[in-house]
Structure 1
């Protein structure tokens, strides 16, 4: 144990760690700034959301430590993979029968964990897809590196993916469906699969995904195509035509971004958060950042997120371990896709989906699972540094 801790400390990725800490603390400050009016309107203390997120961060730091300490190779063990599939199966049925959501959104994505806290299983599903896909592909080629991956010999990951997509689609959480699908494609792309086989696999995922969503629309179309979602599509096409309705949030976001300029109006000085911008502490928190801290604040956040994606991709491109490559690529895909969907909805590039900004937005489930994933990424980085030291003949 002492030897392991010595290697651990010496090879720890401090740059990645401090970037993660910075983003979490930056998000905490912006949650405090953006949520005061929301808390007062809801009849709560001004720092209600700040304190809740502070508690979420304390729990998340523990999850990060667990992820960073456990050797990532363990996630390819059959018993752990079976446990992950069993856990997400229980949680998906739990949210289907006993889940709840916000009124008006049409989503039912949350469960209550014995009255202690609310949890969103679709967040955990993102990480499980990464670990299960990577572990399965790794085990397929572990004893026989010449085995070529194809859709026929990786049927179990496909079944798990279809199962998760089906139940997340039943929650009508379209943002999570897109992210989970993108993650699966990212892991497959990093598996070493041939390009022709990859496109075949991608086509099959598209067909299967479309079939799942078509079936959901057939049996649950009224809850899937809610007035709120139809309004978001209309607002995406022309938000100013629906300024007093579904386009209101998008337009207020534009005003917030335009008001910030280069340096912003000052921390805590946002006008749009004072009742104009609904739920500014969640998926529209970047609008408040842009207004208060300007383009410089936006660049800082994007730089921090971009550094994590860059480091994960760098590991994926340089490592000789296929398991490390696939997990790192999956985490990079997750953060990059979720960031794009959040900012795309904010800027009007794509319709709003209610997806949070990684590490920055308010939310316990998101920061908890992302922190665990960051721990795993740092564990992979540590082992990569250790392997390079061994090659150089140093410890």
Structure 2
């Protein structure tokens, strides 16, 4: 009975739109991957079947998270951080971590690949929201009220860089930064931390030759169209070919071996080619809808922990989408960040859906607060 009462208070619009978007993502994964899957595995549905299984699992986790009181996560915040650190260390241990495309970011579990950095995204949001919600009285004290979580964040940031994965490390850094921004922290402290974050990002971006090559390609992809700029140039071709209405689902030419990572990092290019500007507008509309819903849920949250956690979840998903879309459009360097809800990848989809479940739970308690 209690669960039925909770279900009546769920933000049905957000729940339905997210579920429909996941279905759209599974369809687009199949459309973007079947040529490569057939050539590589002699099975056109290889990636589709895996993504479908992960989508079903993610929906189950979403409903599970939706009915668990969000305050429970705060109590386990230190354990989440500990688990994050342990798994991030295991990734870089020879024989345990799985290497692909010159990066070691995965752990193999029962034939499926688990990416610890995805869990780290959620764990750090919970930890930051929980810590700062309990330190409101000390937030003006930089040493006592601000620094402690930042030390943990710096350590996690370093472990992710070892993989190497500057994109995900930066995403976590800025998502946690948004939580801190919406506390009562002093402006001079914000300026100091933001400056340090930018310096750190620039330093690691130019330190590595391959990262520097990506930045160079982003600035002028046609200077080396057959080398470092190849992926972005073919993304441009996909977007241009799509026009207003696209070539139709399944009609992309670029996915036929021309556009690398067509079902992961650059799936939006395939969406643009097959559904045109209409499809692109629909995707952007979804993320805008999610952003508005997330901010409203945060504003109506029952307590400070719920407010900060809702802010962190909302901005992390939107920032991830922004980084991915910016790379596909050539507005930002290519970082390997996937598109939330749509790109192929089980770990990312499951954690993102858990985040939506938590957001929905915060909205349930927020409505209870309004009614009372």
In which range does the TM-score fall when normalised by the shorter chain? Answer: over 0.9
Which of the residues 79, 97, 104 maps onto 1:83?
79
SS of alignment partner, residue 71 of structure 1: coil
Which of the residues 51, 60, 63 maps onto 2:61?
63
Q: How many residues end up aligned between the 2 structures?
A: 369
Which of the residues 136, 158, 177 maps onto 1:166?
158
18-27 or 239-248, larger mean C-alpha shift: 239-248
Q: Is the 8 A contact 1:184 1:330 kept in 2?
A: yes
2:310 matched to which residue of 1?
A: 328
Q: Is the 8 A contact 2:84 2:116 kept in 1?
A: yes
Which of the residues 115, 123, 126 maps onto 1:128?
123
Q: Is the 8 A contact 2:245 2:275 kept in 1?
A: yes
Which of the residues 200, 205, 215 maps onto 2:192?
200
1:236 matched to which residue of 2?
A: 218
Instruction: Rate the CA distance shift 1:66–1:380 in 2: closer, same or farther, 3 A.
Output: same
Which of the residues 168, 178, 182 maps onto 1:186?
178
Q: Is the 8 A contact 2:242 2:272 kept in 1?
A: yes
The superposition leaves residues 82-132 of structure 1 with CA deviations (integer Å, 9 ceiling, x where unpaired) of 2112211110111111322323xx32111112x331111111111111100
Q: Is the 8 A contact 2:35 2:255 kept in 1?
A: yes
The superposition leaves residues 359-386 of structure 1 with CA deviations (integer Å, 9 ceiling, x where unpaired) of 0000011001101100000000111111
SS of alignment partner, residue 100 of structure 1: strand
2:266 matched to which residue of 1?
A: 284
Q: Is the 8 A contact 2:81 2:124 kept in 1?
A: no
Which of the residues 21, 24, 27 maps onto 1:26?
24
Q: Following superposition of structure 1 onto structure 2, how do residues 32-111 of structure 1 map, counting pairs within 5 Å?
A: 32-77=30-75, 80-97=76-93, 98-103=96-101, 106-111=102-107
- How far the C-alpha of 1:230 sits from its partner, in A, is 4.2
- How far the C-alpha of 1:252 sits from its partner, in A, is 0.8
**Separation in structure 2 between the aligned mates of residue 236 and residue 381 of structure 1, nearest angstrom:** 39
**RMSD of equivalent CA atoms:** 2.0
- How far the C-alpha of 1:205 sits from its partner, in A, is 4.8
Which of the residues 323, 331, 341 maps onto 1:349?
331
Q: Is the 8 A contact 1:150 1:201 kept in 2?
A: no
SS of alignment partner, residue 12 of structure 1: coil
SS of alignment partner, residue 265 of structure 2: coil
1:393 matched to which residue of 2?
A: none
Gaps of 5+ in 1: 391-395
Instruction: Rate the CA distance shift 1:65–1:138 in 2: closer, same or farther, 3 A.
Output: same
Q: When the two structures are superposed, what TM-score results if normalisation uses the length of structure 1?
A: 0.88
Asked whether 1:250 is paired with 2:245, we answer no
Gaps of 5+ in 2: none
Asked whether 1:138 is paired with 2:133, we answer yes
2:8 matched to which residue of 1?
A: 10
**Separation in structure 1 between the aligned mates of residue 155 and residue 297 of structure 2, nearest angstrom:** 30
